[in-house]
Amino acid sequence: MLTIGAKAPFFSLQGLLEGKEGSYSLKDFLGKWVILYFYPKDDTPGCTQEACDFRDSMTALSEKNAVVLGVSKDPIISHTKFIQKFGLPFALLSDPDTKVCEQYGAWKEKSMYGKTFLGISRTTVLIDPSGNISKIWEKVKVSGHIQEVIDSIPV
């Protein structure tokens, strides 16, 4: 379980940033606020809205020295299409074996139409420039979430 003030769990995942495929880890972003958000699936309505809200707020986030990293189980090819379709200017990382989702508490039991299954629960973790957990949002409701995140990052 994650704790506010604790060191954020280390990760290294394949992903895309500015059109470049590579391996990205938390240490690559030390010195910046990291908005690590976990989402269920590329190019679905709620996930698209969330990604576009982050995209549309990049100026405000950049002014606060923040970067956005999206994480899902989707493969790189899916991330490539999602980034291109919506002009997403931040990294999308692939966690096919859900290890990072599990470390950050985003891999949970869910239910839909009476069926129970494991999946990614929409979760956002704000990590401070020193690599410590500053804030955690679980079961994120997309509407209004971006403003909560922006307001949580000190100037």
Assess contact for 89 and 57: CB atoms under 8 A: no
The residue among 70, 71, 68, 72 whose CA lies nearest residue 34 is: 68
Q: Provide DSSP, 38-88.
A: E-S-TTSHHHHHHHHHHHHTHHHHHHTTEEEEEEES--HHHHHHHHHHHT-
Q: Which of 34, 47, 93, 126 is catalytic?
A: 47
Give the Å distances, CA to CA, from 28 to 25, 34, 39: 5, 10, 21
> What amino acid is encoded at 147 in this protein?
Q
- For this structure, is 52 an active site residue? no
Provide the annotated active-site residues. Answer: 47
